[in-house]
Amino acid sequence: MAQDSTYSLHSLLNFSTASNINISNNNLLSFSDEFLYPTIKPKLGMASQPIFLNSERPMIDGTTWRKYSEIDYLRLSSMLGVIAAVNTVAYMYQREVWYTKETTVFHSLDFSEDWGKYQQMDKFGHFTDAYFTSDLTGKIYRWSGMSGTSSVWYGALTGWLWMLEIEISDAFMADWGFSWGDMLANTAGSAFYVLQQFNYDALGGIHPKFSWHKSEAWKEMRYNTDPQALIEDYEGLTFWLTVNPHHYFPDNWKKSYSDWLAPLGLAFGVSAKDIGNNPWGGYKEYFLGLDIDLRKLPIWGNSNLAKFIASEVNILRMPLPTIRFSQEGVWFGFYF
């Protein structure tokens, strides 16, 4: 069972008896009621809040984890329509920006040659994109009434298929091709999402993030092909894995820990330089810095919409004190 909530597995077991009583009383609100008419609830310690095994459980991202599906087909159909519309717009944008060159028959790239390109920065991007898309659509499916388990599997499948569509389009471009390395990264991103949701006690404090600033290579036009969007500015992108220690604290620690310190964590990042004009050259830079888990900030109150927005913006690593390690030496400062 996924543990993407403010509650621990220990608390879940402690309140299993209480669940048998409360479920029969039908006192819990549905997610639709909570979203539209948030109820003010007494603030309890993290280890003191009951979880009912066979009922709805509020999650940190503003959605609700259900044991069984109670699908609102109007919501589901409208969300599927939105996903289809966004996908169509994104595909048309890609056709105008990237798919304007010579086409050919379906073909794939040499794995080792492709893997050694751009210091793997494009692969980090595919991992992060697949994770983010899987997570986002999983939340949409939960909001539509799917059970927690179904939302995770359908979310991961949607994210993976979204990325597969890009690879198939690339396969018909003469300058590119179907990348098995990209597909490996896509699969890893969606798979990590699944593992995280079903092993949240172990993996829930770890989150992929990214940050970007316009690189000197782009400013000085040192790319072989001028980037058409920030996702092509590989020298300006930094990919992160962040760890939130508060997630791993015992429940008795959490009760006495400051709510304002709970979001504070560590970030481990990687970037690359000198790959704009030599995709198979360049070098990596590594980063160690602070991180803020926006979902844990004690400012969202009972607004599920605010919690959802915070969980989406949380994919960005905020500008915070950072140490950079590279072949040019060690640097310290605020970094985005």
Domain for residue 217, yes or no? yes
Q: What is the DSSP string of 97-114?
A: HTTTS-B-S--B--HHHH
Residue that wins the pLDDT comparison between 228 and 170: 170
pLDDT of 9 reads 35
- 268-286 confidence digits (pLDDT tens): 999 999 999 999 999 999 9
pLDDT(181) > 50: yes
Domain for residue 297, yes or no? yes
pLDDT(263) > 50: yes
Domain for residue 1, yes or no? no
- How many structural domains comprise the chain? 1
The mean per-residue pLDDT over the stretch 22-27 comes to: 36
pLDDT(36) > 50: no
CA distance 31 to 53: 16
Of the candidates 189, 240, 244, the one whose C-alpha atom is nearest the C-alpha of residue 211 is 240
Give bridge partners of residue 64 from the DSSP assignment.
Answer: 58
The mean per-residue pLDDT over the stretch 124-128 comes to: 97
pLDDT band at 17 (very low <50, low <70, confident <90, very high): very low
pLDDT of 55 reads 63
pLDDT of 222 reads 92
The mean per-residue pLDDT over the stretch 255-278 comes to: 96
Of the candidates 163, 166, 165, the one whose C-alpha atom is nearest the C-alpha of residue 98 is 166
Q: What are the E-state strand segments in 27-69?
A: 57-58, 64-65
Q: Which domain holds residue 118?
A: 9-335
What the block records as the tokens of 77 is: 């159909």
Radius of gyration of the chain (CA): 22
Half-sphere exposure of 174 (CA within 13 A, CB side): 5
Domain for residue 2, yes or no? no
Phi, psi of 330 (to 5 degrees): -110, 135
What percent of the chain lies above the pLDDT cut of 70?
Answer: 84
Domain for residue 52, yes or no? yes
What the block records as the tokens of 308 is: 């959802």
The mean per-residue pLDDT over the stretch 59-80 comes to: 94
The answer to whether the pTM exceeds 0.75 is yes
The mean per-residue pLDDT over the stretch 288-317 comes to: 97
CA distance 151 to 135: 9
Domain for residue 4, yes or no? no
pLDDT(241) > 80: yes
The mean per-residue pLDDT over the stretch 240-266 comes to: 96
Of the candidates 97, 100, 195, 103, the one whose C-alpha atom is nearest the C-alpha of residue 153 is 195
Answer for the pair 270, 285: CB distance below 8 angstroms, yes or no. Answer: yes
Of the listed ranges 10-14, 97-101, 327-331, the one predicted with least confidence:
10-14
pLDDT(90) > 90: no
CA distance 298 to 257: 12
Domain for residue 93, yes or no? yes
Phi, psi of 129 (to 5 degrees): -65, -45
